[in-house]
Amino acid sequence: MPCSRRMGGERLVSRAVSRGARAGVHSPRAASRAAGVREAARTVREAARRALRAEEGNASLELLTAGVLLLVPVVYLVLALAALQAGALAAEGAARQAARVVVRSASTDGSAAAAEDAVRTTLADYGVPSEHASIAVRCSPRPDACLSRRGAVTVTVRVVVPIPLVPADLGPQPTGVPVQASATQTVSRFAAGTG
């Protein structure tokens, strides 16, 4: 009997050794090292999970920060382009209206003042300050007679469009973007001027 017991015990040990060999473990010491490595890997995984859980909510904060940093310049660019477009439309409208006023005026003396009033009114309609606006009137084919029949009157309006959120008192020159527009009108052949 003692033999069979010993024999059975050896069988159990040999089975354990063969299972360990299949698992890559050849000795009890290697088995304990493998168990230690598995435990260390489990500890590292748990630490990584805890670190990831600690960063929950940071993505929304990062998105808000990056969004604000990118959104502010884009909004400013849109405002600046809108102001420039309004200035360009105001200069074009003012030049066209001033040319119409000059062509329809009865005398050359009153046409300059009427053109200035038309430019000032049109610029005010667009919200563009008229302090730095200039007007140039050119007549053809005879520069000395602006209201001659079938003559062409060209009015050029130059305006400095202020840039949004930039103070106007930064120097002797007005801060802004200069915009220029011209319009030409023909004097009617039935005008009362010289023919």
pLDDT tens digit string along 89-116?
Answer: 999 999 999 999 998 887 777 888 899 9
User: Which residues, at least 6 apart from 141, have a Cβ–Cβ distance to it below 8 Å?
Assistant: 148, 151, 152
Residue 179, pLDDT score = 94
Q: What is the mean pLDDT of residues 14-35?
A: 61
Q: Give the residue from 176, 168, 172 showing the smallest Cα distance to 91.
A: 176
Q: What is the mean pLDDT of residues 17-30?
A: 58
So where are the chain's domains?
58-186
Which two structure tokens, joined as six digits, stand for 36? 């230690």
- Reply yes or no on whether the pLDDT at 48 is more than 50: yes
* HSE-CB of 52 using CA atoms within 13 angstroms: 6
